[in-house]
Amino acid sequence: MLVTLAFGASFGCMRGDTATDKPVASGANSSLQGPLSGAGAMLPLPPVPDLPADKVALGKRLFFDPRLSHDDTIACATCHKLDSGGSDRLPVSVGIDGRKGGVNAPTVFNSSLNFVQFWDGRAASLEEQAAGPVHNPLEMASNWSEVIPKLSLDDGYLRDFKRLYPQGMTGETIVDAIATYERTLLTPNSPFDRYLAGDKDALNPLEHSGYQRFLDYGCASCHQGAGLGGNMFQRFGVMDNYLKDNAGRQADLGRFNVSGLDKDKNVFKVPSLRNVAVTPPYFHDGSAESLEQAVIIMGRYQLGREFSSEDVNALVAFLRTLTGEWEGKRLQ
């Protein structure tokens, strides 16, 4: 069902600016030659994978366990609140001792769909990602030789790890269990998915006109695939420099911090727009408080367009249809 469409004429300016060696998705989409736009760029959310229930349960317990942090105060779920869109709704996250990080926390919902993890793509997998916060001095500020003895005092953990992994509890098996749990954190049944599945009434006329604008204006050349994002890197500020006021702030350098290449300055993983209505504030620096603001900024800096209020209303209405369900309830 994938149709490779030409990289739209309205984006000619961006061609070759795609500061990445891997412009499109990994996995199933890896044969694609360049960014897609138009309806062919959209994919429904895949079904929740069928993973071993006991490993998922172990990962869930770890995800909620503050003993993964140095002073037993911060769990993954402290910053990735599953009842608040899988994020913390703060411009930047707060770790142990009130320490502030440099970037906004993305949601963990649907993160398994991302081609790489983190804003700058520095982790290739969920497993690699999960070790990050445990060791990050601004987040959980710990390490495996501190965490494993603490968790080993818990007979339940010892028993479960022994049963599920021949090597027992190690840094590797801890992140394996957490990543297994994260792969179940998909949010099906959004109005947009019902629409893609053929229910043409799942979007009202305003939402539908927002979807049309999303395709016509070229949002979908960057926000595409099953995540409506999460499958390529792009510069933030294609048409004008959005980040000029923060010149030199390290987190704003994005992908450059990983590759050291000048062409990667201010380049970020295009974020997934699934559930975006419930994960304010927006952008890697949390600089947009509302979805309206984020859409206006995208128009101006990524597309060189000043949107009318009709455009903004329609696009925001469409983005709200990307909110799915978790454990049978619409995310709020």
Instruction: Determine which one of 127, 128, 139, 325 is catalytic.
Output: 139
Within the chain, what is the greatest distance between any pair of CA atoms? 61
C-beta separation of 129 from 136 below 8 A? no
Q: Which long-range contacts (CB under 8 A, 24 or more apart) does 14-18 make?
A: 14/221, 14/234, 14/238, 17/235, 17/238, 18/232, 18/233, 18/234
Query: Shortest approach of ligand HEC to residue 305 CB, angstroms?
Result: 7
Closer residue to ligand HEC in complex, CB, 25/222: 222
Q: What are phi and psi of 179, to 5 degrees?
A: -65, -35
Sign of CA dihedral 121, 126, 131, 135: positive
139 is catalytic: yes
Give whichever of 198 and 248 is closer to ligand HEC, judged by the CB atom. Answer: 248
Give the C-alpha separation, 35 to 29, whole Å.
Answer: 11
User: Distance between alpha carbon 160 and the CA centroid of its chain, in Å?
Assistant: 30
CA separation for the pair 265, 120 (Å, rounded): 10
Please say whether the beta carbons of 232 and 262 come within 8 A: no
Q: Token pair for residue 224?
A: 């595409």
* Residues at the site binding ligand HEC, with contacts judged by CB under 6 A: 14, 68, 74, 76, 78-80, 93, 95, 101, 103, 105-106, 108, 111, 114, 117-119, 126, 129-130, 133-134, 139-140, 178, 217-219, 221-223, 234, 236, 238, 268, 270-271, 273, 276, 279, 282-284, 294-295, 298-299, 302-303, 315
Q: Which two tokens stand for residue 61?
A: 């317990």
Closer to ligand HEC at the Cβ: 302 or 321? 302
Minimum CB separation from ligand HEC for residue 167, in Å?
Answer: 19
Q: Which of 58/222 has CB closer to ligand HEC?
A: 222
Q: Which residue has the tokens 């970020």?
A: 268
* Least distance (Å) between residue 159 CB and ligand HEC: 21
Query: Whose Cβ is closer to ligand HEC: residue 57's or residue 198's?
Result: 57
Specify the residue, 194 or 265, whose C-beta has the smaller distance to ligand HEC.
Answer: 265
End-to-end Cα spacing for the chain: 31
Among 99, 102, 80, 85, smallest CA distance to 141 is for 99
Catalytic residues: 139
